[in-house]
Amino acid sequence: MFSQILLNGLFSSSIYCIVSLGLTLILGVMDIADFAQGGLYMVGAFIAFLTVHAWGFNFVSAICAAALFAALIGIINNLLVYQPVMKRGANSLIAALGVLLIMQNIALLVFGPDYQTFGLPFGRGQITIWSGAITIYKATLILVACLLVPGVWFFLQSTTTGKAIRAISQNKEGAAVVGIALTKISIITFAIGAALVGTAGGLVSPIYAFDAHFGADIIVKAFTIVILGGLGSIRGAVVGALIIGIGENMIAGYVSTEYSSLATFVLLIIILFVRPQGIFGSRAI
């Protein structure tokens, strides 16, 4: 039973980690608690569904389409909503919630209130690890997360754009003084963060039934992970995702599924009281 719970926890942690990476990038650079990312998670699921069923492409193309479409919406949100809001000194959190509601209502108008789902791209084949079993598709998702994390880290550490993102996250004024284009980097950051969240939504679309409100729950958990790991910390997002993902499944397996989500929010409250800066306690990416 422990092996099965651990495998389930690793799968949940992988999805949480991908979403949290996107949020960490945006929060670390722009200081925006972008709850609208929950809408992009939903958009990713619907775009993947449409790409496979309506347009007849394969699932790899569907994930690429989900990432690109989410990135485009992220850029639009940044330019048309967040940049004007921040210039006026208004509350970006309220703006983010407004964007989320708009996306949800557009999805309701376009797709209706019904849940959508489709079959696993690799079938329902399973692999056995220790005494637990996991589908080949879920194992693939864990592998994707394991590749994305070092990929994002390498991008931030080794590329010119990545170093500019890190510089802005550490000191916006100083970055501007040395000639880093803040608007350009913010657009790139939003595109990457949104693409990661859209990718996560597309990846889970064959596993969970989804509707216009899909993503509302995971985005709250992702923010809990970001706060737990430390605002703007990549390694914090990874560690936080593992704690929340495995912890939820442990509680569901040994106690009750009714308390698994509750434990996440209890942990959030405890962290805010005991260590509000998070485990790693750094805003710098």
| Secondary structure (H, E, C), 106-164 | HHHHHHCCCCECCCCCCCCCEEEECCEEEEHHHHHHHHHHHHHHHHHHHHHHHCHHHHH
Q: Average per-residue pLDDT in the chain?
A: 87
- Would you say residue 102 has pLDDT above 60? yes
3 dihedral zone (left: phi>0; alpha: psi -120 to 50; beta): alpha
- Would you say residue 8 has pLDDT above 80? yes
- Would you say residue 29 has pLDDT above 90? no
- Would you say residue 5 has pLDDT above 80? yes
Beta partners for residue 129, in sequence order: 132
For residue 274, the Cα-to-chain-centroid distance in whole angstroms is 25
183 band by pLDDT with thresholds 50, 70 and 90 = confident
- Would you say residue 30 has pLDDT above 90? no
Q: Does 181 reside within a domain?
A: yes
The CA-to-CA distance between both ends of the chain, in Å, stands at 37
- Residues 133-155 have a mean pLDDT of 92
pLDDT of residue 282: 59
Task: Return the H-helix or E-strand segment holding 274.
Answer: helix 260-274
Range of the domain at 29: 18-212
Q: Does 129 reside within a domain?
A: yes
Give helix then strand counts, H and E, for the chain.
Answer: 12, 2
Listed range (13-22, 28-37, 61-70, 107-116) with the worst mean pLDDT: 28-37
Integer CA distances (angstroms), 284 to 40, 167, 172, in order: 25, 8, 11
More confident call, 97 vs 273: 97
More confident call, 128 vs 190: 190
pLDDT of residue 117: 84
pLDDT of residue 285: 65
pLDDT of residue 119: 77
Q: Does 165 reside within a domain?
A: yes
Angle value at C-alpha 169, between 276 and 192, nearest 5 degrees: 105
Q: Does 243 reside within a domain?
A: no
- Residues 234-245 have a mean pLDDT of 90
Q: Does 12 reside within a domain?
A: no
- Residues 145-155 have a mean pLDDT of 93
Q: Does 280 reside within a domain?
A: no
Instruction: State how far the Cα of 14 lies from the Cα of 237, in Å rounded to an integer.
Output: 11
Q: Does 273 reside within a domain?
A: no
- Residues 164-183 have a mean pLDDT of 84
Structurally, the chain folds into a number of domains equal to 1
Structure tokens at 273: 């009281």
pLDDT of residue 123: 66
The model's pTM: 0.91
Instruction: State how far the Cα of 22 lies from the Cα of 42, in Å rounded to an integer.
Output: 15
Q: Does 232 reside within a domain?
A: no
More confident call, 206 vs 279: 206
